[in-house]
Structure 1
């Protein structure tokens, strides 16, 4: 059986962006560094519990891993990304929704599953994320956000 996980790609907009700067220049993405394994960086995500739907999983995992509840961000309509890749020769599907922080300064409260977090602009987020599927997801999100501006 394929592994299934769900999460949120969370972003915030810099308040100090000048009127002449491009939309994409003011966007930062949240990445969490795992405290296990290779200490890789990903957006908050986790496995679907029995009886949970995918979006419920994404919201629960974001609360558990980053301390963010649904009142602190806005889910962005029209964006949902499904990644498929192998983990130890087993197929894995990860579904991400997109969310914008309401308050730029909201505190992130990590669970013991993670040891660090950072807010990064697109290119740094892609370098940090390492996996090509995740890099492509960040680029898709960025293109989506810039096209809406």
Structure 2
């Protein structure tokens, strides 16, 4: 059975720019990823995403505007075991809100789409960031 994790593609708007939050892990290859984590027994997916974002970035439900109509599910393997990750989009209500990292991460960066994709490295995460950006740009035009 696949390990399930949930998180948010957190973004903020600064004037006409959209920036995405990526956290650098303090373990393994120190890869960059949006806040996410494993679903606890009995916990629903959205509650997991909220809990993990609070734990990993210090941003709680009061800091975020969740865009529930955007969901992206990724499937990949970690050390030979299947993993699925479900992401929603969430806008930071106050673009100046402070990010507070947990011990799981050593750095964070707010990055425009192109830089975020470079940091993300993995194609499926890059595709998710691009899909999120397309969704936001389309929503802005309506």
TM-score tier, shorter chain, comes to over 0.9
Structure 1 unaligned runs (5+)? 18-25
Residue 127 of structure 1 is matched in structure 2 by 118
Residue 28 (structure 1) shift: 0.1
The secondary structure found in structure 2 opposite 1:143 is helix
The secondary structure found in structure 2 opposite 1:12 is strand
Larger Rg: 1 or 2?
1
Structure 2 unaligned runs (5+)? none
Residue 41 of structure 2 is matched in structure 1 by 50
Q: Distance in 1 between matches of 2:13 and 2:64?
A: 12
- Please give the TM-score of this superposition, normalised by the length of structure 1: 0.92
Residue 43 (structure 1) shift: 0.3
Residue 78 (structure 1) shift: 1.2
Q: How does 1:44-123 map to 2 (within 5 A)?
A: 44-123=35-114
- Please give the TM-score of this superposition, normalised by the length of structure 2: 0.96
The alignment covers a number of residue pairs equal to: 140
**Cα RMSD between the aligned structures?**
0.7
